[in-house]
Structure 1
Amino acid sequence: MSRRPWRRVATAAAALLAATSIAACSDDPSDAQDLSENRVGAMAEYAAGTQFKATEPLSFSVLYNNHPNYPLKNDWLFWSELTSRTNVTLDPVAVPLSDYNQKRSLLIGAGDAPLLIPKTYPPDVNTFVSSGAILPVSDYLDLMPNLKDKIEKWNLKPEIDTLRQEDGKFYLLPGLHEKPWHDYSLAVRTDIMQELNLEVPKTWDDLYTVLKAMKAKYPDVYPFSDRWSQPNPAGNLLNLLAVSYGLEGAGWNFQHVSWDPEAKKFEYTGATEKYKQMLQYLNKLVAEKLLDPESFTQTDDVARQKLANGKSFVISANAQAVVNDYRPDLARNANAKIAKIPLPVGPAGEINPASRLENGMMISSKARDSKNFVAMMQFVDWLWYSDAGQEFAKWGVEGTTFTKDAAGKHTLAPDVNVIGLNPDAPKHLQKDFGFYNGVFAYGGTPELVQAFFSPEEQEFQQVMNARTPKLPPPPYPLRDEEREQVSLWETPLRDHVYQATLQFILGQRDFAQWDAYLAELKSKNMDAYMETVTKAYDRYQQANG
């Protein structure tokens, strides 16, 4: 996740900048233009907990991330029931999941983007801010009482501040979690663990011990052969290790900078001692033939085949992969059992690395000129942020897709399946009804987020929730010219880190060459990159304290 900030030069400029900062950071829409001409269809008395219903039929375009697991259908109950409840019809502009980011950029660049642009992760917003194509949504939070209520009630301001740009505003309406929810970890063949009388590994060092024992018993096997390596080699594994070592992220969540809370400064992630130690750990696993070197290049299918054929016992996992992939893959082996283990603990201690912010919504700046703008913001607030809207997007329609008892406990209808909860049911919540759709359903209370979790996943979450939440790093918003410059540096830097990471892990490069590697990063403008980040951080601290 990206963060940013700012500084004063001359006294007069400083005063002006400070005034601008205070106004922008107040999120007070009084700074925005008069909205009296933009209230057609809006509710006069709309508040948190109110059912939104437009005063006349409205239609809003939305960029739709078309997931291959539940392809878009025009006759989904989701669409008709949404219109019935809100008097709003959504007009989806469908884009295949595989092309979503590229198509989104093309549409925004051409000025043809739909009004609502969901499934956007925080770093993706930075590219579009300077163009003026995206609305500074922080100016209009008073139109969104459910969102404001959750930010205040869940004490989300520190996380929200990480979204702010150099102007003090933010341009993304993020998905909000009351509690951090961490899903990704490792899955382990528990029957092999029992056979060898091994305990579930609590730390990464424990995992090394477990792998050694597996290798001793099964010398022809690589105990650990991983997936999720395309397009980013060992995308999940490197990210898990990075956060365990106290870094912001690596692999598929590579972050150029990480915050050192003791030194109170940012460091270039791929140049830190922590990153080196992480690579040394993986190099040890590869050198001792505990980790399959093909893990860094093989496809998911190959990794799954090795697990299914007893050629490996450990693999990256999330909750759905265990249920939908690994257990069916292992079904022909009656003795085989596999489970996801809590994220192993590393030098950073027992932390829950998950952010409470998730992908969210950009809004086209064209929407601000619409006569229905206020109604649209109220609608977005209801569907994505109200308790009722979140329940609807996830569970569907009471009496049709779910039931609810007097205590408020939800139960999926017996003829409806999702994530294997009712495996023999003839209907599917996502495929046949359009609910629990990643475009509309994300975030919320733990009860809502974990509603479809199996008992074992609930157990996993209890372990993770008992850990200390990882604090977000401080913001460092970049100015437009700075962002343009660092974007030129980022790709060569990232590519070199990726290349060297594999070389060190696979033993193709000795760690005696670490200083030479750091010099190579310097030659690719690492120091200038960090100087820019540090200046931006200092500016933000001086302006906001």
Structure 2
Amino acid sequence: MHTRSKPWKLMLTGAISLTLLAGCGTSNNAETNGASSGDVVVSKEDFPIVSKPVTLSLMAPDVGIQNWEDMAVLQQMEKKTGISFKYLNVPKDSFDTKKNLVFASGEYPDVFYASGLTTAEQMNYGEQGILIPLEDLIEEYAPNFKALMEENPDVRKSITAPDGHIYSLPVVEYSQHWYRNPMWYNGDFLKALKIDKLPETTEELYTYLKRVKEEDPNGNGLADEIPISSVTVTAANLRDIRTWLLGAFGIYDDEIYIDDVDKVHYTAMEEGYKQYLIYMNRLWSEELLDHESFSQTAEQKKAKAQNNRVALFSDWHAYMTKGGEPSMEDPMFAPVKSDMVDAPAISKNRGITTGAFAITKSNKQPEASMRWVDYLYSYEGALFFNKGPEGTLWEYTDEAARIKQYLPVPGGVEMEDYRATLTPNYGIPAPTLSMDDINKGLKTDFDLWVEKETKEKLLDKGARIPFPVLFLTGEEQTEINSLNSDLSTYVKQMEAKFIIGAEPIANWAKYLETLKKMGGERVTEIYQNAYDRWESS
């Protein structure tokens, strides 16, 4: 998934039809592969993949910038492989709804691409026989993906369902280390306050935020500075900054995490979480945490930052909140620690996202489909789908060393906008392998600086995956869904109440008792069992 993509854009008028079900159930040609009839021979290596042209149906979300049949990458893939697709696209924001309707209809596309199939969906539709097992196809027709699993056994463990089958292929992102967007300091404020060493403890961070509040670092003579600002989103309050502040108290994730001795913790019941709430209440009470954090949108927060009022905030990059061009003057937040831990807990990206590519029982060419997608897990295929065809946006300066350079963007438009017209891998969880070599030679000084900040402040400081990607059994998933429907709402509400002081922290014991009655300990038990299975698999 290309995580640096721009927000979802409006669908081109008339470009994509929302009526997908008609003709979805079968491929356009009637041939079966060579293993059964000999009419179509599927090559296990080299191209084209098939001895005769094959057309399949593919269902995927997209961001509405370009019709997929007009994308150069997919057009060239058709010529290269002999496989064409009937593209059944749905706007990204309504894809999950349409996907559910398609599964319920009994009329299935041949493949699901970038469909974000949850582990529960994989289990459910795999056990029903709608999604076919892929492990034998991987063994015979996916040398690139097979090698990837051998190189990183966690990939196989994370995509294998409890019944032993693999129902989808993942996104594998070796080069993306961030668990969530980092936090960034406003470099202008640091200079104004003559800060030459970033805070390393919660007390030092508090002192800095207090100075922001009191010493007018934006120099306008008004007490309008906001030391730290957050936003509310559907998933959870304060999620954009919570990860980094929880880490100061030894907590890796806001739901569940595994500690260094393989014990699962339910965050909302942990002492570290209590201390986080106390700290956040302190920031709130002294107006160091923006009092609109539980109500404002990301756009409202950005408006404040672009008026040079915000000292610390979360975004993909600082300039995306502050405005202007990329700047190396706004340093990445260095995780701080409280007195209760020896070092901050720092979360790292899992690197594996399941549910990116699946084959349905309607598909008459599963071997050819597996060969097609396996190309995307090679360096050449991943580069092709990520950057587009050579000679359009990039060219090699040293092909043997994989060093490249960018070319002027045709028409002078922004590069990402143009890239989105070339390839489907834009803003969706597409099946692919992300690796550093894809960007070799293409990184700007700013990119290299961000990498250095990430290495020094996160990776070198012990960042690790908080909890692996794994499957729950069908029974476990049903129980977790039932428990979380109430627990998640309660935890979210109580976090806000504790922070703003509507619920005194003196009522912590009562809160814990409520969580236990609602099944918080059972959530821990379920995930512990699932983790133990994953660890021993």
Q: Same fold (TM over 0.5)?
A: yes
Work out whether 1:374 is the aligned partner of 2:363: no
**2:212 matched residue in structure 1:** 214
| Cα distance in 2, alignment partners of residues 473 and 513 from structure 1 | 30
Q: 1:285 to 1:51 in 2, by over 3 A?
A: farther
Verify the 8 A CA contact 2:157 2:534 in the aligned structure 1. no
| Cα distance in 2, alignment partners of residues 360 and 340 from structure 1 | 35
**1:229 matched residue in structure 2:** 233
Q: 1:45 to 1:311 in 2, by over 3 A?
A: closer
| Cα distance in 2, alignment partners of residues 344 and 235 from structure 1 | 16
Residue identity opposite 1:63 in structure 2:
M
**1:267 Cα shift?**
2.2
Verify the 8 A CA contact 1:226 1:295 in the aligned structure 2. yes
**1:116 matched residue in structure 2:** 111
**1:357 matched residue in structure 2:** 352
Q: 1:107 aligns with which of 102, 107, 113?
A: 102
Per-residue CA deviations over 1:149-200 (Å, capped at 9, x if unaligned) read 12323xx213542343322334331111334522611232212211111136
**2:306 matched residue in structure 1:** 308
**1:4 matched residue in structure 2:** none
Verify the 8 A CA contact 2:175 2:436 in the aligned structure 1. yes
| Cα distance in 1, alignment partners of residues 214 and 416 from structure 2 | 47
**2:6 matched residue in structure 1:** none
**1:513 matched residue in structure 2:** 507
**2:451 matched residue in structure 1:** 461
| Cα distance in 1, alignment partners of residues 530 and 276 from structure 2 | 28
Q: 1:391 aligns with which of 378, 383, 397?
A: 383
Local SS of the residue matching 2:310? coil
Local SS of the residue matching 1:293? coil
Local SS of the residue matching 2:56? strand
Work out whether 1:433 is the aligned partner of 2:425: no
| Cα distance in 1, alignment partners of residues 165 and 246 from structure 2 | 30
Q: 1:105 to 1:453 in 2, by over 3 A?
A: farther
**1:445 Cα shift?**
1.4
| Cα distance in 2, alignment partners of residues 82 and 75 from structure 1 | 12
| Cα distance in 2, alignment partners of residues 462 and 191 from structure 1 | 21
**1:376 Cα shift?**
0.4
Local SS of the residue matching 1:341? coil
Write the mapping of 1:186-225 to structure 2, written as runs, cut at 5 A: 186-199=183-196, 201=198, 203=200, 205=202, 206-218=204-216, 219-225=223-229
Structure 1 residue runs of 5 or longer lacking an equivalent are 1-33, 418-422
**1:13 matched residue in structure 2:** none
Verify the 8 A CA contact 1:66 1:72 in the aligned structure 2. no
**1:503 Cα shift?**
1.2
**2:403 matched residue in structure 1:** 409
Structure 2 residue runs of 5 or longer lacking an equivalent are 1-32, 217-222
Local SS of the residue matching 2:293? helix
Instruction: Let me know the Cα RMSD of the aligned residues.
Output: 3.3
**1:442 Cα shift?**
5.0
Residue identity opposite 2:364 in structure 1:
K
Per-residue CA deviations over 1:375-411 (Å, capped at 9, x if unaligned) read 10010111x2111111111121112221111243122
**1:429 Cα shift?**
2.9
Verify the 8 A CA contact 1:39 1:371 in the aligned structure 2. no
**1:496 Cα shift?**
0.9
**1:441 Cα shift?**
7.1
| Cα distance in 2, alignment partners of residues 52 and 295 from structure 1 | 55
**2:120 matched residue in structure 1:** 126
**1:533 Cα shift?**
3.6
Per-residue CA deviations over 1:41-71 (Å, capped at 9, x if unaligned) read 454342xxx5563322222322222225x35
Verify the 8 A CA contact 1:159 1:472 in the aligned structure 2. no
Work out whether 1:526 is the aligned partner of 2:515: no
**1:146 Cα shift?**
0.4
**1:120 Cα shift?**
4.6
Local SS of the residue matching 1:371? coil
Q: 1:301 to 1:129 in 2, by over 3 A?
A: same
Local SS of the residue matching 2:292? helix
**1:492 Cα shift?**
0.6
TM-score normalised by L of structure 1: 0.78
Per-residue CA deviations over 1:184-242 (Å, capped at 9, x if unaligned) read 11232212211111136354624333322211213432222224634532222123334
Q: 1:158 aligns with which of 154, 159, 172?
A: 154
Of 495-504 and 356-365, more deviation after overlay is shown by 356-365
**1:136 Cα shift?**
3.2
**1:495 Cα shift?**
0.9
Q: 1:51 to 1:507 in 2, by over 3 A?
A: farther
Write the mapping of 1:145-184 to structure 2, written as runs, cut at 5 A: 145-153=143-151, 156-182=152-178, 184=181
| Cα distance in 2, alignment partners of residues 169 and 480 from structure 1 | 14
Q: 1:207 to 1:96 in 2, by over 3 A?
A: farther
Residue identity opposite 1:89 in structure 2:
S
Residue identity opposite 1:290 in structure 2:
L
Work out whether 1:259 is the aligned partner of 2:258: yes
- Number of residue pairs matched? 482
Write the mapping of 1:485-500 to structure 2, written as runs, cut at 5 A: 485-500=479-494
**1:498 Cα shift?**
0.9
Per-residue CA deviations over 1:285-324 (Å, capped at 9, x if unaligned) read 22221110211221112111111123323221103xx455
| Cα distance in 2, alignment partners of residues 293 and 270 from structure 1 | 23
Local SS of the residue matching 1:258? strand
Q: 1:229 to 1:45 in 2, by over 3 A?
A: closer
Local SS of the residue matching 2:330? strand
Verify the 8 A CA contact 1:162 1:474 in the aligned structure 2. yes
Verify the 8 A CA contact 2:250 2:272 in the aligned structure 1. yes
Q: 1:187 to 1:489 in 2, by over 3 A?
A: same
Q: 1:325 to 1:84 in 2, by over 3 A?
A: farther
| Cα distance in 1, alignment partners of residues 522 and 320 from structure 2 | 46
Work out whether 1:56 is the aligned partner of 2:52: yes
Verify the 8 A CA contact 1:162 1:472 in the aligned structure 2. no
TM-score normalised by L of structure 2: 0.79
Verify the 8 A CA contact 1:121 1:360 in the aligned structure 2. yes
Residue identity opposite 1:109 in structure 2:
A
**1:21 matched residue in structure 2:** none
Verify the 8 A CA contact 1:503 1:509 in the aligned structure 2. yes
